[in-house]
Amino acid sequence: MRKLLLILLGLAGILHAEEAVVTNAPATYTPPRISWRDVPDHIWGDDALPYAQAALKAWYQETDPKKKVEIGEKVLENAAIAGAPVIAQELLTGKPLQQCEMPVPTNELILPLLALKEWNFQSHDDRAVIRRIGSRNFELWTPPKGWLFDDHGNVLSEVKVPRRDGTGREWYGAFLPTGEWITTDLWWGDNRIYLFSPGGKLQRAFPTKSYLRKDDAECGIDLAVAWARADKAGTRWIAKIGPDGPSDEKGLLVSPWGWKQRLAQLMGQMHLPTPENWRFVEPVTDPCHRVNSRELGSRGGYLVSQSISDDEKAFVLCQKHGHGIWIDFPMFLTKGDGVSWQHVIPKSFSMENYGFFPSSKNIWVGEEKYPTRPHVGSDHSRSWIIDPDGKVLGWLPAERVGDDPDGKRMWFVDEQARLLKVAPDGTVSEVLQPTLPGATGTDAPFAHVLFPDLKLGFFYTKPGHLVLARWN
At residue 55, the pLDDT reads: 95
Q: Whole-angstrom Cα distance, residue 349 to residue 93? A: 20
CA-to-CA dists, residue 235 to 99, 256, 278, 458, angstroms:
49, 8, 12, 25
Can you give the pLDDT at residue 260?
83
* Neighbour tally for 323: CB within 10 Å: 6
Q: In what order do the strands lie in the sheet with 428-435?
A: 109-112, 428-435, 419-422, 410-414, 398-403
Query: Average pLDDT in the 10-23 region?
Result: 43
CB of 147 closer than 8 Å to CB of 175: no
How many residues make up the chain in this entry? 472
The more confident residue out of 411 and 379 is 411
Least confident of 230-239, 311-320, 348-357, 360-369: 348-357
| Rounded mean pLDDT, 163-168 | 93
Residues 232-265 pLDDT 10s: 999 999 999 988 866 668 899 999 988 787 887 7
Q: What residues contact 42, with CB distance under 8 A and at least 6 apart?
A: none
pTM over 0.85: yes
Burial of 214 from C-beta contacts in 10 A (0-12 / 13-18 / 19+) = exposed
> Which of 205-209, 219-223, 329-333, 435-439 shows the lowest per-residue confidence on average (mean pLDDT)?
219-223
- pLDDT, residue 389, reads 95
What is the chain's mean pLDDT, rounded? 87
Range among 1-15, 319-333, 376-390 with highest mean pLDDT value: 319-333
Reported as a pLDDT band with limits 50, 70 and 90, residue 123 is low
pLDDT in tens, 254-304: 999 887 878 877 877 788 888 777 889 999 988 988 999 899 888 887 788
